[in-house]
Every structure is written in C-alpha cells, then in structure tokens.
Amino acid sequence: MTAASTPLVDGMPASLVEARGIEYIPAGQRWGKPSRLFGLWAGSVWNVEFLVYGTFAVGIFGLSFAQAVPVIIVGNLFYVLTGLASLQGPAAGTTALTISRAAFGTRGNRPLALFNWLTQVGFETEGIALIVIVAEAMLAKGGVTAGALAKALLIVGAVAVQAVLPLIGHTAMLRFLRWLAYPFIVLFVVMAIITAGKVNLHAESHGAGWGSLMVFLALVISTGGLGWTENASDYSRYLPAGTDRKRIVAAVTLGAAIPSILLEVLGAALATAVPAAHAGGLTSVNGLASVFPGWFVWPYFVFAILQLFAINSMDLYSSGVTLQSLGVKLNRYYCVLVDSVVCGGLTAYAVFSLRFSQLLSDFVLFIIVWLAPWFAIYFIDYLLRGKRYDSRALFEQKQGTYFRRNGVHWPAIIAQAVGMAAAMAWLNAYSPWVSPLSSRLGGSDFSVFMGLIFGGGLYWLLARKGVRREAALLPPDG
C-alpha cells in the first residue's frame, strides 16, 4: 500500500500530532531536511546542564582553565558520533533501537533496548531533579522553604509538563526546540558579559594529572557525542532515504557541538571564580546564580527550567519509542505515560534520599560501558550491509532476514559482551568502581575507547562475511 504524501506547511507536516511510534515511515511521508536537525540539536543543547558539566572540570576534577578548554573542545568533537548515528534513520525509516535489530537479532536486541530505556529514564530523572532543585531555589528566594509536600508537588508538576511535547510528537518538538535556541543564545551572551569581569582565568593552579584529564574527557564524551548516539535516528528517520549523508553528519555535529563547547567553556570559567558553583556537584545549577546580579537571577532560573524541559523532551520521546522496540504492546502515547510515571518515582527517590549528585555522577559514567560497544557495532553493521536495510524484516519477530538463529545474532552479542568487559577494565567511576587498569595507571579512564575498539573490532571480525552475504540478497530498492 502506498501512503499519501504528507501535507506540508513551511516544509513541515501541517499536523503537529504524531500518531506513529516505531512503525516504518513510507517515502511519501518523509519530509525532513538536515537543516532541521541542526536546529533541533542546537535547541536542546543550549542548556544549563552543559554549563554545569563545564564547572565539573575545575570544581570536581581539579583541572585548571587552561587544561579544561582543550579537553572540552576535543571531547565535543565526538558529536561526530551522533552525526554518524543519524545516518541509519533515513536508510531504515525507523528508530535507532529498532534498527539495532539488524545487528543483534530481533530477540538479541532486547537487552540493548532495555539498557537504552534505562539510560533515557536516567537522563529524564536527572533533568526533573534539577528542575525541582531550581524551583526550590526560586521558592527560597521568595522566602518560602519547600517541605516534603512541596517537593512532591513540584515533582508531579514537572513530570506532567515534560510529557507534553513527547506526547504530541516529533514535529512539535522540532519546531519548539528550533525556536527555543534563539532566546537561549541571548541568555548565554548576557551571562558571558555580566560574568566576564569576575572570572579568574589566571589563578595559580598546577592543574590536574593526566588521569583526571582522561576521566573528565570521558564525562564530556558520554554526556555529549556518545551519549546521544542511541537517540539520533529517532529524529533523522523522517529524512528521505536519499538525503546527502555529509549534510546530515555536519548538521547534527555542528548543531550540538557548538553550543556544548561554548557552554562548557563558560562553566569552567565561572568555576574559577565561584566556589559555590561547584560545591554541590550537579546541584551547582543554583550555585551558579551567585555570580549574577540580582536582576538577572530570576530570568536565569526561569530559562534554566525551560532549558531542562527542552532536553528532557528528547529523552522522553526516545524512551517511549525504545519501550516499543523492546516488544511492549503499547502505542507511543501510553509508552510516554509509563516512562513519565517511572521517571517521577526515580526522581522522588533521588531528591528525598539526598544522594542525587552521587547517583547521577555514577550513572553518567557507567552508561559508557554498554553504549560505546553498542554504537561501534551499530555503525559497523551499517557499513557492512552497504548502508541499506530490509525495513520489513526489522519488524518481523519470528522470521525474516534478522531473525537468524532463534532471534539472536551471536557475533554481535559476543562483541557487545567483550566490549563491555573491555570498557569496565579501564573505567574510573570513583568511588563505586575503579578498574584494575585505572588504579595502576594514574586513575585514568579509557573506557570509551576500549568499548569502541574491542566491541566494534570484534564484531567486524566475527560478522563481516555473514552480514555482507545478507546485504547481497537485499533487492536494489530494499
């Protein structure tokens, strides 16, 4: 059956409401452009979270400003991974963790989909907890101390608001985030101007050792370019299959990397002068306000909350479609609601346990363990099969090209396991886990590179012949 072309207004669907979940998008309903992806990623990354990550360089890892800047720049160059992970969406016409079935098998992919679902819910929890923290600070500034009931109401309200855009769908998010980038850019410029005279870039500091440099680099990569790879195709799948690949990679990479670099550098600069900005780990979103004049604090808090809702919309949308790719028989709307409830419960635990900073710092570092080998396998599989997929077979649960032996593609499972073990072998997630290699090599962290190299390299060795044979059987228009 051939689908009718989607009615467009200003190059985007006339209707903002998206009924589709992970279902294949026919050619007649492909309307996206690479420039839209630039706006989407820029709008989500112009975010106070990345300002906070920048303060970590000085406040937590002990880097000097001169050390922090090159690490931030190099780490954010890894947004090219997000760009490369956006290429599969147009080729397959569906979401990332559905496309991942081609590499892992229709059943073998489920553990990876579960890892991704947990990752997205974790990032949602981080965002909602930060929103609650900022809202508490706003109440305190107005002379009101938030008790347990007030915190509970803030959590419920924040969870309800964050669900709005993901429930409406892809087009609404694309429009909203694209336009939201502009006031965020203005906010950044104002912050940079009013704090320029207060930072102390030339403070005497011996800086950190190479081990701390590498741990901070791992954090930048995992919260940036690597950390978005499992979401990328969820937003590029509406692009026509023939869209220029270089333009896709460039749009995504630049749209995300530019604001991330600027914000993290500003955060590192602020941390040289404002001890309160990093005193509470991730809660430093409030400490940062101490450097601003009184007239700017309220606009800062309001924009911080809007920004956190924006980035959480991306995570919640992706967690909903990931839940579907797990095999849950719910439409996308219900998946968003389920994820919202789970996120609310986890946020309550994080906020009321008073362990928010520790819980979230551990979470951010441990996602590297599964994500680095998964991305390497996902991308190498895409290359091995000639950048084409049997889209129908991606949805067949009991037969088809990607079902293989009982629904499992063992080369990918083995490569994933080895890649995860390799990442754990050189991971410094102090204090829960310091790997044998980290403890012997200055506390360093090469987990990202270990996962990428061992996971991707082993998959290429084990699967290259079989995957190429599969690809050769696919019709030219498959």
Most confident listed range (168-177, 260-269, 276-285, 445-454): 445-454
Q: What percent of the chain has pLDDT over 70?
A: 90
User: Comparing 274 with 437, which gets the higher pLDDT?
Assistant: 437
How many Cβ atoms sit within 10 Å of the Cβ of residue 201? Answer: 12
C-alpha of 92 from chain center: 21
96 is written with which tokens? 């990332």
Q: What value, to the nearest 5°, has the Cα angle with vertex 394 and ends 392 and 396? A: 75
Question: Which pLDDT does position 2 carry in this prediction?
Answer: 41
Q: Report how far apart the first and last C-alpha atoms of the chain are (Å, whole number).
A: 16
CA distances to 9, 41, 169, 283, 369 from 17, rounded to whole Å, are: 14, 20, 6, 35, 36
- Domains parsed from the chain with CATH numbers: 8-19+29-356 (1.10.4160.10)
Question: Which pLDDT does position 445 carry in this prediction?
Answer: 93
Residue 292 CB partners (closer than 8 Å, separation 6+): 191, 194, 195, 300
Residue 200 CB partners (closer than 8 Å, separation 6+): 272, 273
Please report the DSSP string for 31-49 in residue order.
---HHHHHHHHHHHHSSHH
Most confident listed range (91-100, 160-169, 423-432): 91-100
Residue 2 CB partners (closer than 8 Å, separation 6+): 26, 28
11-61, pLDDT tens digit by residue? 666 567 787 889 999 988 888 889 989 989 998 888 888 888 888 888 888
Q: What is the mean pLDDT of the chain?
A: 87
Question: Which pLDDT does position 5 carry in this prediction?
Answer: 64
Is there a contact between 173 and 314 (Cβ–Cβ < 8 Å)?
yes
pTM of the model as a whole: 0.91
Confidence of residue 471 (pLDDT cuts 50, 70, 90): very high
Question: Which pLDDT does position 283 carry in this prediction?
Answer: 38
349-363, pLDDT tens digit by residue? 888 876 666 666 667
Residue 117 CB partners (closer than 8 Å, separation 6+): 319, 322, 323, 326, 339
